[in-house]
Amino acid sequence: MMTIDEMRRRKAELGLTYGKIAMLSGIPVGTVQKILGKITRSPGYGAMEAIERVLRQDTEEGSMSGRKGGNAFSGVRESPDSYHLETTGAKEAGNYTLEDHLALPDERRVELIDGVFYDMPAPSVRHQRILGGIYRQLYSGITMAETGCEVFFAPLDVQLDDPDQKKPPCDVRTIVEPDVLVICEDHKDQIGELRVYGAPDFVIEILSPSTRKKDMTLKLGKYEKAGVREYWMVDPDREKVIVYTFGEQPDVTIYGWEDKIPVGISDGTCSVCLQGV
What residue ranges define each of the domains in the chain, with the CATH number in brackets? 1-70 (1.10.260), 125-272 (3.90.1570.10)
The predicted pLDDT at position 22 comes to 82
Alpha carbons 21 and 230: distance in angstroms, whole number: 39
Whether pTM > 0.95 for this model: the answer is no
The predicted pLDDT at position 60 comes to 39
The predicted pLDDT at position 66 comes to 34
Alpha carbons 86 and 273: distance in angstroms, whole number: 44
Pairing relationship of beta strands 180-183 and 202-206 according to DSSP bridges: antiparallel
Strand partners, 202: 182, 230
Per DSSP, 118 falls in state E
Alpha carbons 96 and 226: distance in angstroms, whole number: 19
pLDDT tens-place values along the chain, 277 residues long = 889 988 988 988 888 888 888 888 888 877 888 888 888 777 887 788 889 988 987 543 433 333 333 333 334 333 444 444 444 345 777 889 988 888 888 778 899 999 999 988 889 999 999 999 999 999 999 876 677 899 999 999 999 977 666 555 578 899 999 999 999 988 888 899 889 999 999 999 999 998 999 999 999 999 999 999 999 999 999 999 999 999 888 999 999 999 999 999 988 789 999 999 8
- Exposure pattern of 118-139 as b/e (b: 16+ CB <10 Å)? bbbeebeeebeebbebbbebbb
**Would you call 202 helix, strand, or coil by DSSP?**
strand
- Exposure pattern of 213-249 as b/e (b: 16+ CB <10 Å)? ebbeebbbebbbbbbbbbbbbbbbeeebbbbbebeee
| Crossing angle of helices 60-68 and 4-14, rounded to 10° | 80
Long-range contacts of 137-145 (CB under 8 A, 24+ apart): 137/270, 137/271, 137/272, 137/273, 138/180, 138/182, 138/263, 138/270, 138/272, 141/263, 141/266, 141/269, 141/270, 141/271, 141/272, 142/182, 142/263, 142/266, 142/269, 142/270, 145/266, 145/269, 145/270
Number of helical H runs and strand E runs in the chain: 9, 15
Cβ(156)–Cβ(125) below 8 Å: no
263: Cα separation from own chain's centroid: 23
Sign of the dihedral through C-alpha 12, 15, 19, 24 = negative
The predicted pLDDT at position 77 comes to 36
Alpha carbons 136 and 272: distance in angstroms, whole number: 9
Alpha carbons 86 and 69: distance in angstroms, whole number: 17
Alpha carbons 119 and 139: distance in angstroms, whole number: 28
